[in-house]
Structure 1
Amino acid sequence: MIYRNTCPLCGSSQIHEALTAKDYTVSKETFGIWHCGTCTGRFTQNVPDGAHIGKYYQSQEYISHTETKEGLINRLYHSVRKITLRSKQNWVRSASGLKQGTLLDIGSGTGAFLHYMKTGGWNVTGLEPDDTARHNAKQLYQIEALPVDQLFTLQQQQFDAITMWHVLEHVHELHRYLEQMRKLVKPEGAIIIAVPNYTSLDASYYKGFWAAYDVPRHLYHFSPAAMESLLAQHGITVVKKHPMVFDGFYVSLLSEKYKTGKSRLLQGFWHGLRSYRRGLKEVDRCSSIVYECKISS
């Protein structure tokens, strides 16, 4: 287990426990979530190290690895995925200024996004740590994803865009990854990172039951201020933020199940709608935020 005396995002010693959360997906264990008073980031305390965390991903309910459609919430996820994939494509095109180019997706899962971009004419490379997810990517989409440790063998400045969709919060070697991403993207290229936002309206309501804490798989929990501070340490500047508006619905439905033990569709939908409407008005209160970034000049 990894116990931290300082914030893994900024190195400050001004940290304290903020709340606890349960792993509802796999282990049913409880973990402490600590808060940094300096950068406002949060992190999960006493997490398994990289060699031992794999078992916490071994669940048919872990949709990014299995493509499961079991249960109402996962079926709803699939029903809006085409819209989400189109949004991701538009963000990449807008951020890079290109309709076609070279793309690296870190944590590519079962390959749905890479497949969508490839059919749009992009030259794609995927990195994925999970063997099952890589196998499913090949079977489902003919995507040959590479093991994630290949990140550090790739040629520098070869990608027009690098994407991480809900992946950064899983990475043990956080600073090493960000430094390598800065090296791999072309000078005028774009880095696009999506992460959950613990300062969102739905997180404030559900507190320790908020599904996007997803302990211990989520090692870090970001606020907008913490993200900008973290990226700036590596010469990466946030130029625009986008709301991932549908995440509030998915997360609220799952959080409602965790809180009550029941799939209360109406209640979860209502809190998701509140988060959706707030996120449209104020990006920093959205359930998940997409950070469009450039290399600092």
Structure 2
Amino acid sequence: MDLQLQTHPEDARDYARIGDAIRYLVAHATEQPQLADLAAAVHLSQSRLQRLFTCWAGVSPKRFIQQLTCEAAKARLAAGVPVLPLAYELGLSGGSRLHDLFVTLEAMTPGEYQRGGAGLEIGWSVEASRFGPLLLAQTARGICALQFVVDEAGAETWLHEQWPQARLRRQNGQGRALAERLFAPLSLRDGPPLALRVQGSNFQIQVWRALLGVPYGGLLSYGQLAASIGRPQAARAVGSAVGANPVAWLIPCHRVIRAEGALGQYRWGEARKAELVGWESAQLAAQPQDAAWMA
């Protein structure tokens, strides 16, 4: 097994085991658990756990938990992130560099939003990914939704609620190549630019656009994000906009944490946020400094 996308049933079970391990690490971070403690908690041998975890994350469980501690997070926050001095000034057709992908974000027009997607055709599918099943929905002009899902029926219901007048077409496998690209190791990513086509208020779009400027592996607080868009007193409103993000990972709301270093809530679960933050940090740490991709 390598760090490529895993899709068969055994790999799905492996992801569940890793999720259990990370939840344990987060819950016991202050105790700095040993490998034996973690192995016992997830009912695996130490050798099996070490091998499985390292294949999935690229680092050992011990190294991974070091990336997740509050002290480490606070240090990264205090170091400052060169966040977005220009990102929110780029305009609707502008773009920022995210990971090693180019991502452009375009807002649907107020008229399109009010019409509930009338005249819009949205193709969607649920694809396997490193972090669990993904709902991927696309229009002719770009990705309009990327969500971690628990059940597919709920995912389709959510799509109908967001675009009640749009024509939804399930196209199994249409997002498989993109899902593989998203979570490949840094050194293996390649491909054409990605376009996002999202609906939201002007303020939400401003916040989501700002998030595109946060470097891969970087962290910032809600207050820092609010200040970066010229609204230092609006941290609470910024938090609501972050929580409403319709495009997981590509609009990296997982990189926004509490000022004291705690990860905080996440639309798709705090455990998954820990997985994303820890894995991203581990991937970055594995790169030579001069080769590390930054936003």
Q: Give TM-score, length-normalised by structure 1.
A: 0.27
Q: Which has the larger radius of gyration?
A: 2
> Whose relative contact order is higher, 1 or 2, with alpha carbons under 8 Å and at least 6 apart?
2
Using the size of structure 2 for normalisation, the TM-score is 0.27
More strand by share: 1
